[in-house]
Amino acid sequence: MDFRPGLTILQGENGQGKTNILEGIYYLLTGKSYRVHREQELARWGENEFHLYGDFIVQRRKLRLESHYQDKRKIIKINQIPCRKLSEYVGTINVVFFSPDDLVMVKGGPAERRRFLDLHIAQHHSKHIQLLNAYNKVLQQKNALLKQGQGGSKSQIAQIELWNEQILRIGSEIIRNRWEFTGLLSRKGQEIYGQISAGKEELTMDYHALGKNNLEEALAAFPKLLAEKMSLEMERKMVLIGPHRDDILFKLNERSARLYGSQGQQRSIVLSTKLAELEVIRQEKGDYPLLLLDDVLSELDRFRRDYLLDYTKSLQQTIMTMTSAETLTQRASLLLKVEKGQIGRIE
């Protein structure tokens, strides 16, 4: 497939493979699936491997990215040179993915919002991937220790304290990264939401770490909470304190958007957040990222649909899927038909 600058539309009925194309592009650029956690699920039914590659031009520099997955093993390359770690690969080319499923950012649980934050931060702070991997290993080890019981013996307490030191050190960095990004996202998201709502409502995004919405207070309370909750953690046999339990609160006029926002308001929040993500990346990298839109226009009213389409004019490249593109043929630089996994150009 050869894509052009500007807006490319992938047109086709549901179930023809449009979303697979976007997911393949996203996976190639990030090394992660936007949809599933197990990479095996991305392979064709009955297969245990897949191979993706793409040629890109970034700031007049040609790049080839490759990702080969086979038997639970992944090899990723930049210009045919293997990367030892995912953190060396992610962020080479930035991407933002927007689909109707993103409504879960507002309506879903804290895990979905943490995942959104981490996927974005990892694209321009490669160390964040290393921090998350290290934190998850420590979390698993401490949980395993707590499940063993031992009735709060001196030996168990000493081991828990050692793991707590790691949770404090690594977790504090994760919290700080998330806090900083949420602040950037909130300022841009507030501005964009104000335009979408004609200034009738104010959007705020607050990152709550360890139950607090102030960074310094959260970091100061972290070691105290680890010590205070040790007995409760041993009783429940699970880790209760750390950034794996943090959350973002979306508010409209100081009221929870998850609890009190209408479906239309929640969709506007997601749209504002995604466009804010584009702006934050542009500020930090100097260029807009690739934008992938998976059948989102059908979920937006006319005003928000036109707002999004007008917004894409300022981007270098947008790839969008939809079932019918009749009304958008004049906006598209390239129109492709997807049917039964096959792709053809529509003149």
Sorted by where each begins, the domain ranges of the chain are 1-93+289-347, 102-287
The sheet carrying 81-82 orders its strands as 49-58, 61-70, 73-78, 81-82
The stretch 248-266 carries a mean pLDDT of 95
14 a known binding residue? yes
48 a known binding residue? no
151 a known binding residue? no
Is the pLDDT at 248 greater than 80? The verdict is yes
pLDDT tens for 85-108 read 888 899 899 999 999 999 999 999
**What integer best gives the mean pLDDT of the chain?**
92
Residue type at position 256:
S
Fold category of 102-287 in CATH: Glutathione S-transferase Yfyf (Class Pi); Chain A, domain 2 (1.20.1050)
Give me the half-sphere count of Cα atoms (radius 13 Å) on the Cβ side of residue 244. Answer: 18
15 a known binding residue? yes
10 contacts 336 by C-beta, under 8 angstroms: yes
pLDDT, residue 41, reads 74
Is the pLDDT at 36 greater than 90? The verdict is no
Q: Answer with the residue of higher pLDDT: 291 or 41.
A: 291
Is the pLDDT at 113 greater than 90? The verdict is yes
The stretch 322-346 carries a mean pLDDT of 85
pLDDT tens for 40-70 read 778 777 788 899 999 999 888 899 999 998 8
8 contacts 319 by C-beta, under 8 angstroms: yes
CA triple 325-329-332, angle to 5 deg? 105
Is the pLDDT at 25 greater than 80? The verdict is yes
54 a known binding residue? no
Of the options 3.40.50.300, 3.20.20.100, 3.40.50.10330, 1.10.10.10, the CATH number for the domain spanning 1-93+289-347 = 3.40.50.300
46 a known binding residue? no
Spatial CA neighbour of 171 closest among 209, 206, 116, 143: 209
pLDDT, residue 178, reads 97
Q: Cα(333)–Cα(9) distance, rounded to whole angstroms?
A: 8
19 a known binding residue? yes
311-325: b (≥16 Cβ within 10 Å) or e: bbeebebbbbbbeeb
pLDDT, residue 306, reads 92
Tell me, yes or no, if the two domains 1-93+289-347 and 102-287 fold the same way. Answer: no
Q: What count of other Cβ atoms lies within 10 Å of the Cβ of residue 19?
A: 20
6 a known binding residue? no
